[in-house]
Structure formats: structure tokens, C-alpha cells
């Protein structure tokens, strides 16, 4: 047996038991787990640490509700929290610890894209199901396994799906036929490929204009591109700072045609972009897409619980993180075992209406105890999450609702909604 220093820091928050694990493992065979174990990857340090508290609160809220209803398999859920320090390599190592030493049954994945990829290097081959609030992209999808045998549930639509929606919004509401995209991303970038395909489907074109982020003046780059093609729309697929600079430069260029500006999620409310533009009239009529804010009884029940527990409004995305944990825990109960395949299939089963026509009950946040009771009684359930329906599809992703909007700075909410669209990844 190799010498090793182990430590466990047990933190009790409400009814949830959190074990912050560290140290190294043992060559001795692990004892059989006495409780359902949920691994949680948090960036407790590093560049993403600002999000750790709200992410941990979302986990706590879900685990507390489950434990108050008797836990999973009749035992209190144990949550093992590890710090991946906002570092993808560290995410790989702490995932190895969760899988090989702590023997967790499922994993609440990190919010970083690269960290999710390195987590999957360990969790997917070990057949440990994971759920991510924010990891998108076909590379993440493919890293989680082949179609029909994937080990990551993604609760956010891919950048390609959003890019397709933005392109169609530009064509339908901006008469876009020739679009430029000044960007660091190359022609093989997933969002660029999807946008290009959508434009081609409408007999339009997309031209990639390579730029370097952080330039004080993009005028020479834009003038050179204008010598070879003329856009009627420009997609700002770059940083807020670069986007604002491009708008100012374009508007000051002699002979530059009038264009519609196209932007993705969050840009209309980002002061780095809107203030950086200077004259807000330059982006009047800008077309954009963004995530639709959750509404309805499911979200209200979650938000009320969050306010009662933490004394502040629920942050954006916290409802998605809460749903991630609820899906995993209800999936464990539905599985009736700690087998990874059974848990993964259990998550899918409880997330959506059955296809047999058999009676089933719908449950929302605040009703998790009743949902667990029905599962234990052998009844079908469908969990309707705080963030939306949470119906896990064949691609192991969940449809998201987006809004398309037109920017009007005279309105109290400048993003004037044109439509609300369900976006779903398929492959």
C-alpha cells in the first residue's frame, strides 16, 4: 500500500451534506457506497470563481429538497465538491478523483467549455453520467460518446443552433443577403459553419473577415474587405470591445454602405458594447438573439424558494443549474441502482412525457418530494423544470427558448422581441 495523506472537510449547509475532498487515493478496494453520491465540479478559485457561490447554492437548493423528502434510495444524498480552479487540466484530475476514489454516481459538470472536455476524458469512459448547464458545441457532444451512448446531458443549445437562428432572423427581418463576419474564428468554427449553411439555404452568402482582437482601429481591415465584396449586414461575432470599435469605424468610413448589425446573446445589454459604440443611434434597428428569460409556475416556485433561502433574487442560469441536479437525483431514484447506464436512462425517462400513452404525473420545483414518492410507487413522472421543459432528446440535449429582437434604444427594454423560438440540437 502506498503512503498517502488524505483529508476530508465536511461542510453542512442547511440539510445538505457537502464533502470537500482532497489528497490522494488508496490501493485498497473502495468500500461499497452507503449513500447516493453526487460529484460537483466548481471553480472555487481562478478566473471563474465569481460564479462558484451561485452554482453551489443551486446544488444546495436541489439536494436539500431531495434530502428533506427522504433522499435517494432511502438515504441522504452525499455531495462531494471539488475545486477545478478554473483550469481544464485540474478538471481532469479532480474528475479522476471523483470517479476512481470517491466513486460518485453522477457529476454536476463545470461551467467552462475546455474543463468540460477534460472532465469527459475521465467520466465518459467510466460511464458516469454528467450534466452541464452551459457547455455547448459539437466537440463537447462528440466527446461525451456516440449517438445513443452519450454521457453528458447538455442543458444549453449549441452555438451552431443559435447562429442558425440569428442568420434566419437576419434574412427574414433584415433582408440580409450578403453578410460579413469580422472575427477571430475561422471558416471551420461551428457557429460560422452553421450561419453559412443557413445563408446558403436562402441563397445568401457569408464572408469571413479575419481580424485581430484588441485593435484600436479596424478601418484598414474593413476597407480591404470592401474592395472585394459588399455586405448589407455585418455579424459581430467577436468581443464586445471589438464589436463596438467595428461599428464606430464602419460608420466613419467614406463610401461604406448602410448595414444591419447582427449580434448574439447578451450583446444588447452589455454596457461594454453599447457604451463603446458611443452614438447609440448607430445600432438602432440592430437584430439579435438571446435566451428567453424563464417564466411560469415552475420558475416562480424555484425563484420563491431561492429568495426564501438566500434572501436575494435568483441569478440568471441558477435555474438551469438547479434543474441539472434535480434531473440527476430523480434519475438515480428512477434507475433503482447506482449503475451508470440505468441512471442515465432514468434521467431521460423522468425528463419527458412517455411515449406509451400510460398515465403520468407532472412535477415542478417545490414538488420534488411528491415526484420521488411516485417514482418509488412505480409511477411514470415528467419533471417540468425551473428553466423549461427539460425534455432530454436523442442527442442528450435539452431544447432552449430564444428570442429574436430588434434594437430600439427609445424603449424601456431596448431589445424589442420579434419572436420566441424553441431551438433544439439534433444529430
Examine the domain organization and report whether 105 and 246 are in the same domain.
no
Residue 392 lies in a domain: no
Instruction: Flag the least confident range among 149-153, 191-195, 211-215, 234-238.
Output: 211-215
In a domain, 388, yes or no: no
**Does the pLDDT of residue 264 top 80, yes or no?**
yes
Q: Is residue 389 part of a domain?
A: no
pLDDT of residue 190: 87
Domain containing residue 173: CATH number: 3.40.50.2300
In this structure, are 141 and 180 located in the same domain? no
Q: Are 185 and 212 in contact (CB under 8 A)?
A: no
Q: Is pLDDT of 12 > 50?
A: no
- Mean pLDDT over 254-264 rounds to 95
Q: Is there a contact between 259 and 247 (Cβ–Cβ < 8 Å)?
A: no
Give 162 or 17, the one with higher predicted confidence.
162
Q: Are residues 182 and 115 in the same domain?
A: no
One domain, residues 256 and 324: no
139 and 15 assigned to the same domain = yes
Same domain, 10 and 131: yes
Over residues 246-269, mean pLDDT: 94
| Residue 1 in this model has a pLDDT that exceeds 60 | no
Q: How many domains does the structure of the chain reveal? A: 2
The confidence score (pLDDT) of residue 334 equals 96
Say what the pTM is.
Answer: 0.82
Same domain as 308, residue 271:
no
Same-domain status, 272 and 309: no
The answer to whether the CB of 368 falls within 8 A of the CB of 326 is yes
Distance CA 91, CA 116 (A): 8
Query: 358, 359, 355, 362: which is closest to 382 by C-alpha?
Result: 362
Q: Is the pLDDT of residue 5 over 80?
A: no
Whether 140 contacts 162, CB under 8 Å: no
Q: Which phi and psi angles does 397 have, rounded to 5°?
A: -130, 170
Q: 1 in a domain, yes or no?
A: no
Residue 391 within any structural domain of the chain: no
Same domain, 142 and 165: no
395: in domain: no
Q: What is the pLDDT of residue 142?
A: 84
**Predicted confidence (pLDDT) per residue in 137-193, tens digit:** 678 888 889 888 999 999 988 888 899 999 999 999 999 999 999 998 788 888 999
51-78 confidence digits (pLDDT tens): 999 999 999 999 999 999 999 999 999 9
Q: Which residues pair with 414 in a beta bridge?
A: none
Burial class (CB in 10 A: 0-12, 13-18, 19+), 137: buried
Mean pLDDT of the chain: 89
**Pair (201, 325) in one structural domain:** no
Confidence of residue 92 (pLDDT cuts 50, 70, 90): very high
**Hey, what's the cell of 228?**
472585394
Range of 329's domain?
6-156+297-383
pLDDT bracket for residue 3 (50, 70, 90): very low
10 found inside a domain: yes
Q: Is residue 394 part of a domain?
A: no
Looking up cell 465540479, which residue turns up? 41
Task: Tell me, yes or no, whether 14 and 39 share the same domain.
Answer: yes
The least confident of 16-25, 198-207, 271-280 is 16-25
Residues 178 and 278 in one domain: yes
Q: Please report the pLDDT score of residue 125 as a whole number.
A: 97
pLDDT at 427: 63
Task: Provide the pLDDT for residue 34.
Answer: 59
Specify the pLDDT at position 426. Answer: 62
Amino acid at each position: 500500500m502506498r503512503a498517502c495523506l488524505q483529508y476530508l472537510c465536511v461542510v453542512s449547509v442547511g440539510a445538505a451534506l457537502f464533502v470537500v475532498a482532497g489528497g490522494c487515493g488508496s490501493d485498497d478496494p473502495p468500500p461499497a457506497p452507503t449513500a447516493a453520491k453526487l460529484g460537483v465540479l466548481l471553480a472555487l478559485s481562478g478566473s471563474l470563481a465569481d460564479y462558484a457561490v451561485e452554482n453551489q447554492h443551486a446544488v444546495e437548493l436541489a439536494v436539500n429538497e431531495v434530502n428533506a423528502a427522504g433522499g435517494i434510495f432511502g438515504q441522504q444524498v452525499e455531495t462531494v465538491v471539488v475545486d477545478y480552479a478554473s483550469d481544464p487540466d485540474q478538471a481532469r484530475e479532480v474528475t479522476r478523483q471523483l470517479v476512481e476514489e470517491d466513486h460518485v454516481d453522477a457529476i454536476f459538470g463545470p461551467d467552462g467549455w475546455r474543463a468540460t472536455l477534460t472532465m469527459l476524458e475521465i467520466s465518459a469512459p467510466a460511464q458516469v453520467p454528467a450534466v452541464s448547464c452551459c457547455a455547448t458545441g459539437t466537440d463537447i457532444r462528440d466527446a461525451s460518446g456516440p449517438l445513443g451512448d452519450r454521457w453528458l446531458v447538455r442543458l444549453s443549445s449549441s452555438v451552431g443552433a443559435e447562429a442558425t437562428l440569428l442568420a434566419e432572423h437576419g434574412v427574414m427581418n433584415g433582408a440580409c443577403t450578403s453578410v460579413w463576419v469580422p472575427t477571430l474564428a475561422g471558416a471551420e468554427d461551428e457557429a460560422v459553419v452553421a450561419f453559412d449553411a443557413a445563408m446558403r439555404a436562402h441563397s445568401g452568402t457569408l464572408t469571413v473577415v479575419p481580424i485581430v482582437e484588441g485593435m484600436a482601429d479596424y478601418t484598414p481591415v474593413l476597407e480591404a474587405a470592401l474592395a472585394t465584396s459588399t455586405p448589407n449586414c455585418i455579424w459581430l461575432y467577436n468581443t464586445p470591445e471589438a464589436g463596438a470599435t467595428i461599428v464606430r469605424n464602419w460608420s466613419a468610413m467614406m463610401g461604406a454602405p448602410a448595414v444591419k448589425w447582427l449580434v448574439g446573446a447578451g450583446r444588447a445589454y452589455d454596457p461594454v458594447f453599447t457604451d463603446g459604440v458611443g452614438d447609440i443611434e448607430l445600432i438602432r434597428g440592430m437584430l439579435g438573439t438571446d435566451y428567453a428569460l424563464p417564466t411560469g409556475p415552475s420558475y416562480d416556485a424555484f425563484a420563491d424558494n431561492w429568495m426564501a433561502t438566500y434572501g436575494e433574487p435568483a441569478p440568471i442560469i441558477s435555474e438551469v443549474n438547479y434543474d441539472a441536479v434535480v434531473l440527476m437525483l430523480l434519475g438515480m431514484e428512477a434507475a433503482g441502482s447506482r449503475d451508470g447506464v440505468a441512471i442515465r436512462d432514468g434521467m431521460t425517462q423522468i425528463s419527458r412525457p412517455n411515449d406509451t400513452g400510460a398515465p403520468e404525473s407532472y412535477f415542478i420545483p417545490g414538488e420534488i418530494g411528491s415526484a420521488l414518492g411516485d417514482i418509488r410507487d412505480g409511477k411514470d413522472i415528467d419533471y417540468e423544470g425551473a428553466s423549461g421543459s427539460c425534455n432530454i432528446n436523442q442527442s442528450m440535449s435539452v431544447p432552449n427558448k430564444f428570442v429574436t429582437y430588434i434594437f430600439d434604444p427609445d424603449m424601456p427594454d431596448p431589445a424589442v422581441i420579434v419572436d420566441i423560438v424553441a431551438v433544439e440540437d439534433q444529430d
